[in-house]
Homo-oligomer: A and B are copies of this chain.
Amino acid sequence: MFILACSQLLMIIFHAASGYNYTTNYITVPVDHFSYTNNDTFELKYLINDKYWDVNKGPIFFYTGNEGRIEDFCDNTGFMWEISREFEALVVFAEHRYYGESMPYGTNSFDDKEKLGYLTSQQAMADFVDLIKYLRDDSLSVGKRPNPVFAFGGSYGGMLAAWFRIKYPATVEGAIASSAPIWQFTGMTPCNDFYKVTSSVYRNASAECGLTISASWKAIDKVTESDSGKTWLTDNWKLCTPLKDSDDVARLKYWATDVYVALAMVNYPYEANFLAPLPANPIKEVCKSMTNHTEDDETLLMSVFHGLSVYFNYTGSTKCLNLSSAFSDDMMNGWDYQACTEMIMPLCTNGGEDDIFEAYPWDFKSYSEYCENRYDVKPTTDDVEKQYGGKNLKAASNIIFSNGLLDPWSSGGVLKSLSSSIKALLIPDGAHHLDLRASHPNDTSSVIHARKTIKHWITKWIFDYRYRK
The interface of chain A, by Cβ under 8 A from chain B, is 32-39, 113-120, 122-123, 126, 129-130, 133, 167-171, 341, 375-378, 382, 386, 388-390, 392-398, 469
Contact = CB atoms under 8 A, between A and B. Distances in A.
Among A32, A126, A377, A394, chain B packs the most CB atoms within 10 A around the CB of A394
Contacts of A117: 35-38
Closest A-B pairs by Cβ, 5 of them? A170-B389, A37-B117, A169-B395, A34-B34, A36-B117
Contacts of A377: 36, 39
Contacts of A341: 36
Given A394-B469, A395-B170, A397-B395, A123 B34 contact: yes
A133 to B, nearest CB: 6
Among A34, A126, A375, chain B packs the most CB atoms within 10 A around the CB of A34
Given A34-B34, A36-B341, A133-B382, A390 B114 contact: no
A130 B386 contact: yes
Interface class of chain A by DSSP? loop
Nearest to A376: B39
Contacts of A392: 169-170
A423 B339 CA distance: 41
17 contacts: A32-B34, A33-B34, A34-B34, A34-B120, A34-B122, A34-B123, A35-B117, A37-B115, A38-B117, A133-B382, A133-B386, A167-B167, A168-B386, A169-B394, A169-B395, A170-B393, A171-B389
A378 to B, nearest CB: 7
A133 B383 CA distance: 11
Contacts of A378: 39
Contacts of A393: 170
Nearest to A37: B117
A444 B34 CA distance: 42
A120 B35 contact: yes
A224 B130 CA distance: 51
B390 A118 contact: no
Given A169-B395, A170-B395, A395-B169, A37 B389 contact: no
A33 B123 CA distance: 11
B36 A35 contact: no
Contacts of A394: 169-170, 469
A113 B396 CA distance: 36
A386 B389 CA distance: 20
Contacts of A119: 36
A114 B34 CA distance: 13
A377 B130 CA distance: 19
A126 B35 CA distance: 12
A53 to B, nearest CB: 22
